[in-house]
Amino acid sequence: MRIDVITIFPEYLAPLGVSLIGKAADRGLLEVRTHDLRSWTHDVHRTVDDTPYGGGPGMVMKPEPWGEALDAVIADVAPESPELLPTLVVPTPSGRPFTQAKAAQLAESPWLIFACGRYEGIDRRVIDAAVERMPVEELSIGDYVLAGGEVAVLVMVEAIGRLLPGVLGNAESVRDDSFAAGAMESLLEGPAYTKPAEWRGRAVPEILTSGNHGAIARWRRDQAFARTAAHRPELLARLDPAALDKKDRIALAALGWHIEGDRLVPDRAAEDKAPDGRAPDDFADQPPA
């Protein structure tokens, strides 16, 4: 996979040369090129922003440097594959959610271009024009506001990169990850343990040292249900009951969830809330303030 990143802060992308993604690049599994947007400006101040039409706070990124940057990066296609069309990824707080499924989809693309905005974002016409030339994905990494797209690109490239063939060792399969398509699609991973078997008086759960691989898999799945019920109950609500076996249903019943028609629902949705609106986990240990 080839990845181009256009930004006014190329040094912000330095982490892509380190660790998992850096090693994958060293091994030729992906190629990351970062580009300074200001190299496509022509004024002495290398201006990339201007005041917003219609007024309002902040600045907006000017379209001209972006247009020239995208023209240049797209034209820099490898001679052996002249028909190759990149997908343009634009991180933005108003984008569609960047999910594990989206990471897996983008990992299938041979060429991604990431456009990092700053200020209040990029002039809309840049994206509207790009849509007529290539697939464009406007994506958000979560419901909070960053100061620019660079950190979102680090997040997305790491999530995509670890899915590329050969990047993870066989020992670190992505199959059991939280959100992985299949058995973990709507589940969070349970706890992990390593040696020593006892640390500061705390023993590793005995089942994990039993050597009974069937029982261990069952215990791990039960732990995943418990973790998901506690931290992300809305994920349990989208589990497909048809994909649940008898032991799954027993584990979920113990956590206060049952099947109603073709949906999984909490036993007592309204009553599960404390009168002051706190979730059960919040009042388990402490009295109300």
Interacting residue ranges for ligand JFB, rule: CB under 6 A:
91-93, 95, 117-118, 120-121, 140-142, 144-149, 152
- Min CB(236)–ligand JFB separation in Å: 25
Q: Is the dihedral of CA 103, 106, 112, 118 positive or negative?
A: negative
Residue 172 to residue 168: CA distance in whole angstroms: 6
For residue 175, indicate whether it is catalytic.
no
Options 33, 162, 218, 232, the catalytic residue: 162
Choice between 11 and 143, CB closer to ligand JFB:
143
Give backbone dihedrals phi and psi of 92, rounded to 5 degrees, phi first: -160, 145
CA distance 208 to 194: 10
Structural contact between residues 136 and 70, judged by C-beta atoms closer than 8 angstroms: no
Around Cβ 176, how many Cβ atoms within 10 Å? 15
276 is an active site residue: no
Beta bridge pairs of residue 49: 61
Specify whether the backbone of 286 is left (phi greater than 0), alpha (psi in -120 to 50) or beta. beta
Report in angstroms how near the CB of residue 6 gets to ligand JFB at its nearest. 12
Q: Is 91 a catalytic residue?
A: no
Q: Rank residues 35 and 221 by Cβ distance to ligand JFB and give the closer one.
A: 35
Based on the residue annotation, tell me whether 220 is a catalytic residue of this protein.
no
- Cβ distance to ligand JFB smaller for residue 105 or 265: 105
**Closer of 52 and 256 to ligand JFB (Cβ):** 52
Q: What's the min distance (Å) between Cβ of 48 and ligand JFB? A: 12
Cβ 136 to ligand JFB, closest distance in Å? 14
Residues labelled as active-site residues: 93, 120, 162, 177
